[in-house]
A and B are shown apart, each in its own frame.
Chain A
Amino acid sequence: MVPFARQLESLGYADFRALEVSTLQVNLGWRCNQACKHCHLQAGPERPEQMALSTIQEILRVAAGCSIPVVDLTGGAPELNPHFEYLVESLHRLGVHVRCRSNLTVLLEPGKEHLFDFFREHRVELICSLPYYQQDLVDRVRGPGAFQKSLEALRRLNRLGYGCEGSDLELHLMYNPGGAFFPPEQKPLEDLFRRELAQRHDIHFHHLYTLLNMPIGRFQDYLRKSSNYEGYMGKLLASFNPDTVSGLMCRSLISVAWDGCLFDCDFHQALNLSLIPGLPQTIGEFDLQTLATRPIRLEDHCYGCTAGSGSSCGGRIVGGEL
């Protein structure tokens, strides 16, 4: 295998760097009410990792001081962090655009149903996981009952105006494949989801993003157990698309782990691959000027972001407009 760093070097990216920090992606903890089979963080109900209030206050200090336009909340289920509402309220007051990656089912957990109205009040953009529009696949990947709960949460969000045509309450879906294969082209799949969810369930959304399953964490365990690892990695390499490189999300995003450590992305965080030594390593040391042009740590799992149309937390990287 050609190491990813050497692959980029051959394309003229010997010194691959960030271009800006326009998104601060904050992982509020690895606790989740689900334990999805593809989760790169191996999140689940038993995970103890949760961002402390002191770290959240550091996040707010950076958000206020550095004018980063978007804070992207993820987990685990970020809503399970006891300081979630405080963080969202504070960011909203600062005028920061708040994006939350929700698994949907957490919104129906005891004590969490107020979040529907809370999201609307604070104009939170929602990116919700839904790997298919049929029950069997969703329940196989996300656990029994996940599909029906997801539909219920989506219906309630639609009733509040989320995902409706012309509404600025943004509701997007995130698709990831339910196995050892690559995601479909984003736009045709979005059209398919839009038609099927509307016809079958009267559910509406704005956009659908596709995300390739990164061969790490629980998904790597699955690939190895099912003897698919070698084939999957071979296909990732064979599908390397140089056109995706300039738009890789690490060039505009920085990831903050539950303990305040900084990473180039959530995948590096999962593998505890810190920022390159010499750079600020924690949210407490955050320095926008340094981090906005930082050299990025390149690892072989980065091939997961450059295969085909590319993959990122905002969906495919190349291949037409939304």
Chain B
Amino acid sequence: MSHYYDEKDLEKFQEMGKYRADLFDNFMNYYQGVMAAGALTVREKALIALAVAHTVQCPYCIDAYTRVSLENGSNLEEMTEAVHVAAAIRGGAALVHGVQMHNVAAKITM
């Protein structure tokens, strides 16, 4: 194995159902239910998934949801904004933990 990630591995996702197929089937039913149109459209859900993909930094998910977003009529402006939302929340989450740092520092310093 020359590298850990191979784009063709995404097509092998079903292999995860080889053992404990019941758990995999439960996951897939849930997954498909979540991603189907509901109060949010498929297009909106794909943009959320794209943002989350960047947050969890999953190359499979980024590949998949870039395609799904384009295949649902989104454009690069919208998709880039979605990634900025992910970046802003990640950055904000880091920054807000600075309050913890202040708390700890206040506790142990004079």
Interface residues of A (CB under 8 A from B): 132, 134, 136-137, 177, 179, 181-185, 188-189, 192
Contact = CB atoms under 8 A, between A and B. Distances in A.
27 contacts: A132-B75, A134-B75, A134-B77, A136-B76, A137-B75, A177-B70, A177-B71, A179-B70, A181-B67, A181-B70, A181-B71, A182-B71, A183-B71, A184-B43, A184-B71, A184-B72, A184-B73, A185-B42, A188-B41, A188-B42, A188-B43, A188-B72, A188-B73, A189-B72, A189-B73, A192-B43, A192-B73
Grouping DSSP codes into helix (H, G, I), strand (E, B) and loop, the B interface class, with mixed when no group exceeds half, is: helix
Nearest to A234: B11
Top 5 nearest A-B pairs (CB, nearest first) are A184-B73, A189-B73, A184-B72, A181-B70, A181-B71
Contacts, number: 28
A183 B72 CA distance: 7
Nearest to A175: B73
B13 to A, nearest CB: 13
Interface in B57-110: 67, 70-73, 75-77
B72 to A, nearest CB: 5
Interface in B16-72: 41-43, 67, 70-72
Nearest to A189: B73
Nearest to B7: A231
B58 to A, nearest CB: 19
A137 B74 CA distance: 12
Contacts of A137: 75
A132 B77 CA distance: 13
B62 to A, nearest CB: 14
